[in-house]
Amino acid sequence: MRPARAPSIALSSVERSFTSGAITARVLKGITLEIWPGEMTLIVGPSGSGKSTLLAIASGLMRPSAGRVVTLGVDLGCLDDRAMDRFRLEHCGFVFQGFNLFVALTALEQVVYPLQFSTRRGSAADLGARRALEVVGLADKTHLYPQELSGGEKQRVAVARAIAKDPGLLFADEPTSALDRENGSRIARMLHTLAHDRDATVLCVSHDQRLIDHADRVIRIEDGLITADERHAPAAPLAGGPRSLLETAP
């Protein structure tokens, strides 16, 4: 059952095309979708089906070719680039596929600096960053640079950076792809907790069963269209429910 309140993100007839030379590829072909706060929503689907494009449009990182995106009651199409940047800074946390860490910053600095640009200053930013790194299991690696961290540790720094400012909206593209069993499950639980305890909107692209097991809702995209949209009880997927969506993925 859907929560009885306003969606945090509403996409109406969203389309996105990319043109290269004489060829235009229609990647999203008319997506209408509501995403709710207090839930962890997962987008699954075959490679190239448009999942990351959908995430980028829902988060305001990319503009749609057609259609409308209303996030937290704001029509993103009405924001210029500067206002869009401010909106994202204020409300959004991101975990990107490539982690996007700065080579010259320690793990702690990667998390502290963005915090200082948003809500917190000085020791509050430092404390918040340390707490976030502790939550992802990196309390003893705060002084290390990206080149001194494993792939999974870098990914956890990226997750810590995204959660540190306690965002109302968290967008994550394959946030557990580099993680072992224990750390993958830890991040999945944490994202679920962020949605449920902090009433955040958590929207992830992933094929990871650990995330699917913790998701409230799983949306499947194929060839730019939604082909399935199912809810399930977190950590207790129903037979034939969202788990089966994954089994048909490549």
* Cα 214 to Cα 212: distance, rounded to the nearest angstrom: 5
Q: Is 27 helix (H, G, I), strand (E, B) or coil?
A: strand
Closest separation in Å from C-beta 69 to ligand ATP? 16
* Closest among 47, 58, 33 to 228, alpha carbons compared: 33
How many C-beta neighbours within 10 Å does residue 46 have? 15
Q: 98, 91 in Cβ contact below 8 A?
A: no
Binds ligand ATP (CB under 6 A): choice among 10, 14, 51, 120:
51
What residues are paired with 70 via a beta bridge?
A: 10, 75
Binds ligand ATP (CB under 6 A): choice among 2, 3, 13, 18:
18
Q: Which is nearer to ligand ATP, 23 or 104 (CB)?
A: 23
> Could you report how far apart the first and last alpha carbons of the chain are, in Å?
29
- Size of site (CB under 6 A) for ligand ATP: 10
Instruction: Say whether residue 53 binds ligand ATP (CB under 6 A).
Output: yes
Instruction: Say whether residue 48 binds ligand ATP (CB under 6 A).
Output: yes
Q: 128, 115 in Cβ contact below 8 A?
A: yes
Instruction: Say whether residue 50 binds ligand ATP (CB under 6 A).
Output: yes
Instruction: Say whether residue 47 binds ligand ATP (CB under 6 A).
Output: yes
Q: Which stretch binds ligand ATP (CB under 6 A): 48-56, 107-115, 135-143, 144-152?
A: 48-56
Closest separation in Å from C-beta 110 to ligand ATP? 24
Query: Starting from the edge strand earliest in sequence, which strands make up the sheet with 225-231, in order?
Result: 92-95, 169-173, 201-205, 39-44, 217-222, 225-231
Q: Which stretch binds ligand ATP (CB under 6 A): 45-53, 113-121, 191-199, 232-240?
A: 45-53
Q: Which is nearer to ligand ATP, 119 or 177 (CB)?
A: 177
Quote the tokens at residue 141.
Answer: 């690696």
Q: Which is nearer to ligand ATP, 55 or 194 (CB)?
A: 55
Instruction: Say whether residue 49 binds ligand ATP (CB under 6 A).
Output: yes
* Closest among 58, 72, 166 to 114, alpha carbons compared: 166
Interface residues with ligand ATP (CB under 6 A) are 18, 27, 45, 47-53
